[in-house]
């Protein structure tokens, strides 16, 4: 398994020109032999698409994407979506988002943008049709900290005792952007944001539409359990998160320059580890592919 020590014992499996090195558990693969900037053939694209479904998280090293090529690669997977927080959008490519700790002069602000990214979540679970894939690149990589952690929510589900998973069947979790921001001590949601993202509910255990895998669908945007006492629902969500984020379900991505990271939000959670936002420059550019309604 991929331990949080960052040691990756990746087995080698070469399939055509694209090299896919995957851990035996099937969680996370490193993709080599492909240039995401150039013309990606349909065959190569299909291999990458199959790999993301199979491995849940993909790591591409040594890529030289700019915003345009990042955007072009991402949109081959489907329509992209903007972010509720409009301040993160780029004017020229409004569906690409930038999060970073640099001011207009390139100096560090001392503040990590979006504190909600520091806690476990799955992207946009607070909307009716949450994100499918997220594709991230990082023009400025922190030297210490600022890692991205992933939890394999299908394996976490499989590891539940049968009695525990039976108890979760049929439950729905309420996901709420406004509440999520309160929990992560972020600036309060604006009236516009609340109007754009009112609370929604999703199955607590969802089925991956392409693999039929059952996955635990929680994270910081999940506020409580529908029709339960708030405190009891919060307690169940906390218990499930503690289970799912045990070391044996986690992959720690230590960023290198020119990495591109891609993940399937339907079967993973992720978060960023702390770093010194005054001393380290850390910027990510993000493209998000629209998903569909969880079931």
User: Which residues are marked as active site?
Assistant: 121, 123, 270, 286
Residue nearer to Fe ion on the CB measure, 112 or 168: 112
Residue length of the chain? 295
Q: How many CB atoms lie within 10 A of CB 170?
A: 9
> Which region, judged by CB under 5 A, interacts with Fe ion, from 22-30, 100-108, 120-128, 210-218?
120-128
> Which region, judged by CB under 5 A, interacts with Fe ion, from 122-130, 184-192, 273-281, 287-295?
122-130
User: What's the closest the beta carbon of residue 249 comes to Fe ion, in angstroms?
Assistant: 17
Residue nearer to Fe ion on the CB measure, 155 or 270: 270
Does the footprint of Fe ion cover residue 201 (CB under 5 A)? no
Instruction: Give, in order, the Cα–Cα distances in Å from 221 to each of 43, 108, 217, 239, 278.
Output: 36, 28, 10, 15, 27
Residue nearer to Fe ion on the CB measure, 47 or 265: 265
Using CA of residue 33, residue 36, residue 38, residue 41, what is the dihedral sign? positive
User: What's the closest the beta carbon of residue 287 comes to Fe ion, in angstroms?
Assistant: 12
> Which region, judged by CB under 5 A, interacts with Fe ion, from 19-27, 115-123, 139-147, 195-203?
115-123
Does the footprint of Fe ion cover residue 81 (CB under 5 A)? no
Does the footprint of Fe ion cover residue 123 (CB under 5 A)? yes
Distance (Å, rounded) from C-alpha 200 to C-alpha 269? 18
Distance (Å, rounded) from C-alpha 12 to C-alpha 21? 5
User: What's the closest the beta carbon of residue 117 comes to Fe ion, in angstroms?
Assistant: 5
User: What's the closest the beta carbon of residue 131 comes to Fe ion, in angstroms?
Assistant: 8
> Which region, judged by CB under 5 A, interacts with Fe ion, from 88-96, 118-126, 193-201, 243-251?
118-126
* 211-250 residues near Fe ion, rule: CB under 5 A: none
User: What's the closest the beta carbon of residue 18 comes to Fe ion, in angstroms?
Assistant: 26
If we measure between CA atoms, which residue out of 216, 218, 187 comes closest to residue 115? 187
If we measure between CA atoms, which residue out of 203, 211, 210, 218 comes closest to residue 268? 218
Q: Burial letters for 270-292: b for 16+ Cβ neighbours within 10 Å, e otherwise?
A: bbbbebbbeebbbbbbbbbbbbe
Distance (Å, rounded) from C-alpha 31 to C-alpha 52? 10
Residue nearer to Fe ion on the CB measure, 47 or 85: 85
User: What's the closest the beta carbon of residue 126 comes to Fe ion, in angstroms?
Assistant: 12
Instruction: Give, in order, the Cα–Cα distances in Å from 85 to each of 21, 44, 91, 101.
Output: 36, 34, 14, 16
Distance (Å, rounded) from C-alpha 225 to C-alpha 169? 12
Task: Please check whether residue 205 is in contact with residue 257, taking contact to mean a CB–CB distance below 8 angstroms.
Answer: no
Residue nearer to Fe ion on the CB measure, 73 or 150: 150
Q: Give me the residues that bind Fe ion (CB under 5 A), please.
A: 123
């Amino acid at each position: 398994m991929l331990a949080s020590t960052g040691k990756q014992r990746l087995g080698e499996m070469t399939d055509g020109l694209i090299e896919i090195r995957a851990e035996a558990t099937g969680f996370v693969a490193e993709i080599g032999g492909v240039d995401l900037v150039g013309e990606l053939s349909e065959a190569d694209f299909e291999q990458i698409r199959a790999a993301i479904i199979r491995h849940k998280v993909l790591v591409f090293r040594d890529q030289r994407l700019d915003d345009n090529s990042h955007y072009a690669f991402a949109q081959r997977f489907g329509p992209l979506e903007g972010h509720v927080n409009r301040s993160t959008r780029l004017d020229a490519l409004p569906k690409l988002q930038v999060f970073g700790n640099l001011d207009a002069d390139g100096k560090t602000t001392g503040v990590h943008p979006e504190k909600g990214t520091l806690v476990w979540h799955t992207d946009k679970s607070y909307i009716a049709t949450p994100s499918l894939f997220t594709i991230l690149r990082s023009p400025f990589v922190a030297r210490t900290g600022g890692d991205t952690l992933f939890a394999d929510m299908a394996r976490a589900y499989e590891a539940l005792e049968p009695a525990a998973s039976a108890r979760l069947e049929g439950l729905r979790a309420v996901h709420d952007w406004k509440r999520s921001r309160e929990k992560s001590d972020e600036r309060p949601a604006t009236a516009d944001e609340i109007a754009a993202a009112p609370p929604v509910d999703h199955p607590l255990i969802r089925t991956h539409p392409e693999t039929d895998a059952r996955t635990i669908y929680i994270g910081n945007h999940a506020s409580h359990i529908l029709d339960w006492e708030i405190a009891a629902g919060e307690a169940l969500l906390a218990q499930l998160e503690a289970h799912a984020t045990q070391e044996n379900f986690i992959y720690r991505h230590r960023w290198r320059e020119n990495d591109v990271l891609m993940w399937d939000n339907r079967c993973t959670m992720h978060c960023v580890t702390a770093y010194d936002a005054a001393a380290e420059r850390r910027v990510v550019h993000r493209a998000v592919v629209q998903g569909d309604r969880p079931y």
